[in-house]
Amino acid sequence: MGKLSGKTAIVTGGASGMGRGVALNFAEEGASVAVLDRNEAGAKEVAEAAAANGAKTIGLACDVGDEAAVKSAFAASAEALGDIDILVNNAGIDTVELIENMSTEMWDEMMRVNLKSVFLCSREVIPAMKRKGWGRIINFSSQLAHKGAPQMVHYCAAKAAVMGFSRSLAYELVEHGITVNSINPGPIDTPLYMSIPEDWRRDKEASMPIKRPGRVEEVVPTVLLLASDEGSFYVGASMNMNGGDVMV
């Protein structure tokens, strides 16, 4: 029996990178998995790969910053797989710009995708989790929420807000058997990270004690822990796997 047998999960941003790794791992551990992403073809590909291990899966297009899209995709996921037990809010974007050159549109899009989405998606799953008396909400923040970074004030602000959101929601839900925690990885070798300018990545990695980005497989075990019964004592925690970039 897998650690997530009998559970149903939604993973946002599941078409690539850390979301893909989490979705495949959850399926291996016995969960039914809905893979959501703006890249519909990618979401379906990951869902099909997860189903190869015998899991019940669905891949759907979803813009997680759009309320109507979230409601539609979450309803379709629940109809196909059952009430959602585990939500992984992984979807996100990453851009760099000095604040004096940053457009209002760039700021707003960062908040919409990286912060508003966490609110919208979490709100959708809470009623069913309360009815069951069990649930897991795992929100991807960043180590930069702790320390900040040049050219990333919008990203760091959004990720710090995700951490605060997670801690506050943990207070609201723990009495219902629902835990809320945040994952705060450092640079991870994913398509999103590789989209950042090379000079920024080079400087960041040079400043880290470990001198390299992390790998998806170095993050996934922590997500699995928080999603499982074994993670029941983690409440409002900030899990920091970042190669020593922030030591807390």
Catalytic positions are: 155
Tracing tokens 């090379």 back to the chain, one arrives at 198
Residues in the chain: 248
Distance CA(63)–CA(38), nearest Å, equals 5
CB 178 within 8 A of CB 151: no
CB 60 within 8 A of CB 77: yes
CB 19 within 8 A of CB 88: yes
Distance CA(112)–CA(232), nearest Å, equals 30
Encoded tokens for 243: 């190669």
The phi, psi pair for 79, rounded to 5°, reads: -65, -40
Integer CA distances (angstroms), 100 to 47, 89, 96, 109, 153, in order: 41, 30, 12, 17, 11
Encoded tokens for 37: 């992403």
